[in-house]
Amino acid sequence: MAFLPIIVAPDPRLKLTCDPVIDVTDELRQLMDDMLDTMYDAPGIGLAAPQVGVTKRVIVVDVTKNDDERHPYQMVNPKITWRSEELLDYEEGCLSLPEQYAQVSRPEKIRIKYLDFDGNAQEIETSGILATCIQHEMDHLDGVLFVDHISKLRRDLIIRKLKKYKAQLSSKKVGVRG
Ligand code: NI
């Protein structure tokens, strides 16, 4: 079990476009397991590889609330193949934007293709918070944060707060966690 440091915005590493994975190797599986451990520890419901400084198209998601009924997804090269026209508004947060939230509107249902932990091709259709979370994590793979979906005014306000938060972190006034 390993916990990886999570990059906090604003940071140029969160704005990069990630590379597709060619091979699902043991090294990549280790990364996916470490990402899941890091996400549960934070705690969060999703994490994308660029948030831990790896520019590969990998995400992990688990929207279950109960520790006894965990249902994690570890997705390599996720690709949306269908989106519903109906939208769902959801109050989103992000481990890279601690304590910041905003309502974001996204397709309510999606179909998604990806490679699983063993490198096998999968395709699932999903809706609700799981669909929202997958779309949020996939945005990270193209350098997009949830605040990029809201007004510039509100985005600038959140980024200002984060800059202040990071300044406090670096002067050790706030404990670091996740
Ligand atoms: Ni996020």
In sequence order, the 6+-apart residues with CB closer than 8 A to the CB of 30 are: none
Residue 67 tokens, joined: 């520790």
Q: Residue 94 Cα, ligand 1 centroid: separation in angstroms? A: 4
- pLDDT score of 173 more than 80: no
Q: Which domains does the chain have, with CATH numbers?
A: 12-168 (3.90.45.10)
Quote the percentage of the chain above a pLDDT of 90: 90
| pTM higher than 0.85 | yes
Return the HEC string of 35-46.
HHHHHHHCCCCE
- Please name the residue that has the structure tokens 């990402």: 35
pLDDT digits (tens, 9 = 90+) for 71-129: 999 999 999 999 999 999 999 999 999 999 999 999 999 999 999 999 999 999 999 99
Rg for the chain, CA atoms, rounded: 16
Q: 177: CA distance to ligand 1 center in Å? A: 16
In whole angstroms, what is the distance from residue 128 CA to residue 136 CA?
12
Residue 91 known to be catalytic: no
Q: How far is the CA of 144 from the centre of ligand 1 (A)?
A: 9
What confidence score (pLDDT) does residue 174 get? 54
Around ion ligand 1, residues with a beta carbon closer than 5 Å are 94
Nearest residue to 106 via CA among 71, 142, 148: 148
